[in-house]
Every structure is written in C-alpha cells, then in structure tokens.
C-alpha cells in the first residue's frame, strides 16, 4: 500500500526542488544578464544584479566581429550528424546485446563504458596524426566521426536499457510472421522504443553540441563550431566579460530552446519502463 504524502511534505519537496533548480540555473542566468551590461558594469565590485542600464552593444560587437551563422551551422551539422550516425550504429548493437543472450554482454558493456574513463588528451596526438594523414583535419566529417565514437558507449548503454524493457516475445512473434532481421528492427523494435530513442538522441545531441576539447583541437576556421566561437573571445589582452557573455548566450540559446520544447519527451524517455 502506498504511503500517503502530507501537504506539508509536498510543499517542502516543491520548495527544495525549486531551490536546487534555481541554484543550477543561476550561472546561466548570470551569463545572460552580464551580456546586457557594459564592460565596466560587468566587472563592478560589488556585482550588479538587475539595477543597471541594459544595452545591446555587446551583441552588436559580437555580430560585427564574427560570422555567427557559420559557427551555428557547423554546430548543427556536427552535433546532428554525430548523433544520427551514432544511432545507426548503436541500434543494431544494443538489439544484439538485449535480445541475443550472451555471458559476456555485461563485460562488453562495462568495457565500452570504461573507454569513457580514458582522458581525451591521452589519445589526442594519434587522432590528430590520423586526421592529418586522411586529410580530414578541420573538417565537419572528421568531427562527426570522432564525436560519434566518443558518445557511442553512452548511446549503446541507453538504448540497451530501453530495449531490455521490451518483451522479447513480441519480436519472436514478428519472426514467426516472417519478418526479417531488418524488418524486425525497423518496424517492430524501433517504433516501440521511440521514447527511449528520442531521449537518447536529445541527450547525445546536447553532449555533442557542448563538446569543446575535440572541437578546439581538431578545427581551425572551416569547421569551427560554437565552442570555438566562444573561445575566440578569450584573448591575451584579457577577458571582456560582457562580450564573452554575449557570445556564450548566443551559443547556448539554441540548445536551451531545444531543451525547453523537448523536455516532456526527454523526461518521458528517461522514465521509459520505470513503471511496470
């Protein structure tokens, strides 16, 4: 029997959730507010929160100095391409681990996850040389491949978890009806796991969008995404906090909007199979 939750407990939990949420969101809020300040106000001591003269001069300066649309397009191509390619590779892999029993499945999954524990800088030099030899340094193709490989363990793990919640009898019935392996995955498994796949796509798109280490080290000008766009505002002359905040706000705005409109789908996917 479920334990009743008192009204007081609900209020405490709600207040606690709001407090944690605001604490997490505060750095983003401060960045957005700083982007509307002058450079003098941005470094004022004590800090000024809301009582300042709002200005758009930082956004105007950023747009004049940089080709924002090019950086944005590169980010969309790199994040979207790596996520789609990762899903194409991960769906069959997760299917085989979820529905083809093996004693080594868990060992393989743990090994895949352990690759995320290796510091990225440890493999930077060989990958850099490979990219030079293949002629894909400072190219969107190269970044799509490396970001896909970097996030592939997470994609496989998430899809494996979702696929395990789908009864194997349904797939067996499809085979008895004459479905091929391709038809089983495309027309039976995938539609049933849409919430899980959607949340996996969204999460990995966000991870690829925010990736800075590989994008800064494997690009120069042609394929530079928004992470390089932000980094360009850190100069030897010093940090211009207001302009840096404006660039950061322009870089995170698309992903914030995407997350806001897809939060219901993301929560639905992350809780997929949680209630029996």
Strand, helix or coil for residue 2: coil
Q: Which two tokens stand for residue 101?
A: 């029993």
pLDDT at 88: 93
3-state secondary structure of 35: coil
- pLDDT tens per residue across span 54-83: 999 999 989 998 899 999 999 999 999 999
**CA neighbours closer than 13 Å in the CB half-sphere of residue 256:** 10
Predicted confidence at residue 276, as pLDDT, reads 45
Query: Does residue 274 contact residue 76 with C-beta atoms inside 8 Å?
Result: no
pLDDT in tens, 172-206: 888 888 888 888 888 888 888 888 888 899 889 99
Backbone angles phi, psi at 89, to 5 degrees: -80, -40
Annotated domain spans of the chain: 66-232
Phi, psi of 273 (to 5 degrees): 85, 5
Assigned superfamily of 66-232: MetI-like (1.10.3720.10)
The model's pLDDT over 43-59, given as tens digits with 9 standing for 90+, comes to: 888 888 888 889 999 99
* pTM for this predicted structure: 0.85
pLDDT of residue 268: 63
pLDDT digits (tens, 9 = 90+) for 251-263: 999 988 887 877 7
pLDDT of residue 112: 86
pLDDT band with cut points at 50, 70 and 90 for residue 266: low
Sign of CA dihedral 20, 25, 30, 31: positive
CA distance 267 to 261: 12
Amino acid 58: pLDDT = 92
Dihedrals phi, psi of 77, to nearest 5 degrees: -65, -45
Q: Is the pLDDT of residue 272 over 60?
A: no
pLDDT at 1: 46
């Amino acid at each position: 029997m479920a334990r009743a939750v008192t009204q007081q407990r609900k209020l405490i939990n709600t207040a606690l959730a709001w407090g944690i949420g605001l604490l997490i969101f505060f750095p983003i809020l401060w960045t957005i507010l700083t982007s509307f300040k002058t450079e003098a106000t941005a470094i004022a001591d004590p800090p000024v929160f809301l009582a300042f003269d709002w200005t758009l001069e930082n956004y105007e300066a950023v747009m004049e100095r940089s080709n924002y649309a090019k950086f944005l397009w590169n980010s969309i191509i790199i994040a979207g391409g790596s996520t789609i390619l990762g899903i194409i590779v991960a769906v069959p892999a997760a299917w085989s681990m979820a529905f083809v029993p093996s004693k080594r499945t868990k060992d393989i999954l743990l090994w895949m996850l352990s690759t995320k524990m290796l510091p990225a800088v440890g493999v930077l030099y060989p990958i850099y040389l490979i990219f030079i030899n293949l002629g894909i340094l400072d190219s969107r193709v190269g970044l799509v491949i490396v970001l896909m490989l970097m996030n592939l363990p997470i994609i496989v793990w998430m899809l494996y978890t979702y696929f395990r919640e789908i009864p194997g009898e349904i797939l067996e019935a499809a085979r008895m009806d004459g479905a091929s392996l391709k038809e089983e995955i495309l027309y039976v498994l995938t539609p049933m796991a849409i919430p899980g796949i959607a949340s996996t796509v969204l999460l990995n798109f966000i991870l690829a969008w925010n990736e800075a280490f590989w994008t800064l080290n494997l690009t120069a000008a042609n394929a530079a995404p928004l992470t390089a766009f932000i980094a360009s505002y850190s100069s030897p002359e010093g940090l211009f906090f207001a302009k840096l905040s404006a660039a950061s706000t322009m870089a995170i705005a698309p992903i914030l909007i995407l997350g806001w409109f897809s939060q219901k789908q993301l929560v639905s996917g992350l809780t997929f199979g949680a209630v029996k």
